[in-house]
Amino acid sequence: MADLALRAATIITMISAIDRDPRGVATQARLEIGPGAAPASRRCVCVVSETYPPEINGVAMTLGRLVEGLRGRGHAVSVVRPRQRVDRRGPPRDPEEFLVQGAPLPGYGGLQIGLPAAGALRRHWIRHRPDVVYVATEGPLGWSAVRAATRLRLPVVSGFHTNFHSYAKHYHAGWFVRVVAGYLRRFHNRTTATVVATADLRARLNALGFTNLSVLGRGVDGQLFTPERRCTALRSAWGVSEHDVVVLYVGRIAPEKNLELAIEAYRAMQLRGGTRRFVLVGDGPQRASLQQRHPDLVFCGLLTGQQLAVHYASADVFLFPSETETFGNVTLEAMASGLAVVAYDYAAARMHVTHGETGMLVPYGQATAFVEAAVTLARSPLVLARVRRRAPASVARAAWPQVVERFEAILLDALGQRRGLS
């Protein structure tokens, strides 16, 4: 039983962490924050997460934005997270960070499991009592945070970042889906509210028995990700001219991202002529094998900030065949950068792409249709140009200040519900 419990904790934490796209997010333009909260509504918020900047992934980036945004609106925000490698060289970068013990995640270098810390959290929150707690990840640290907050009668909002049904088939854990689903349902239903990224995900979770779900989308930094960062010198380094089509992928290079399909689509685009290069930004367990089998592909590794933004803007088509996203921040970044996105019709793509106008939407899971959509762009320069021209404006309203305001409202509503029960 002990071995099964360890395996359960490892798999649950793995799927909680696996949606962390190791891509450039470290250097960001500062948020333009709206008016701060009125003095009477300023609150103490504690964010608990097993990943946080300077780690490079989508969840960490989102949390960094939300924390910065809440502070900009006048709230006092503290963060609980596991110790990272950078912490060995000194105290926390932020005096409002409370560090707990972590352990390496088996098979995923650089990722940490946050170990259970209910006792430490209770003591910390007794000394520094927050008004509301946001638990962003569902691993052992998150579970113990929910338990500690419940014992202290603190309102808890949780974040859902785990597309467990889709991950199972990629990691040969289909037999474990029911166990994981049951764990996640119990975890989230113990909290006052659960934040999900899209309305369709909310509907799917409602059908599985999840309750009290609130939708919180994502924003994109339009100053960082913009077509204006297109770089002729970088394209020349890739061996292409301005008339050639460059395909891009940004994210984790791992089985759950379905990159074999992206490569198949790229090869089909090559046969149509004019498509000269496939550039992949990111790292992961599949990188070495793909690089060996496809030496003509350009593997850039991890990129951050402006360097990442230049790579986006210097490409033309963004292939995103993943079937396991809860949102997919890279979709917004690609569109803001003026790329024609090819993606399945769910998550961020469903929210922001108009098929044939601002991108190409493909019925979920239909691999042949995905390839055909990519080929359509390769053989139709006018369609490609129109989509690229219209894409940035279509995500202009997906701004972080509005996302922060919505997040603030969810937290304050949870606080109000708790007080109503007192």
pLDDT tens across 203-241, in order?
999 999 999 999 999 999 999 999 999 999 999 999 999
User: In what helix (H) or strand (E) does residue 49 lie, and over which residues does it extend?
Assistant: none
The per-residue pLDDT of the chain, averaged, comes to 87
Q: Beta strand 317-320 with 298-301: parallel, antiparallel or unpaired? A: unpaired
- DSSP per residue, 65-94: HHHHHHHHTT-EEEEEEE--GGGGGSS-SS
Range name among 110-119, 300-309, 382-391 with the lowest pLDDT average: 110-119
Residue 364, token pair as written in the block? 């979920």
Please give the average per-residue pLDDT across 91-115, as a whole number.
76
pLDDT in tens, 138-193: 999 999 999 999 999 999 999 997 665 555 555 555 566 777 888 999 999 999 99
Collapsing DSSP to helix, strand or coil, 113 comes out as: strand
Q: What is the pTM of this model?
A: 0.85
How distant is the alpha carbon of residue 180 from its chain centre?
20
The predicted structure's pLDDT at residue 14: 45
One-letter identity of residue 97: E
User: What is the radius of gyration, based on Cα positions, of the chain?
Assistant: 21
Q: What is the pLDDT of residue 26?
A: 34
Q: What is the pLDDT of residue 82?
A: 93
* Beta-strand pair 112-114/102-104: antiparallel
Total residue length of the chain: 422
What is the C-alpha separation between 139 and 12, in angstroms, rounded? 6
Mean pLDDT calculated for residue range 104-126: 83
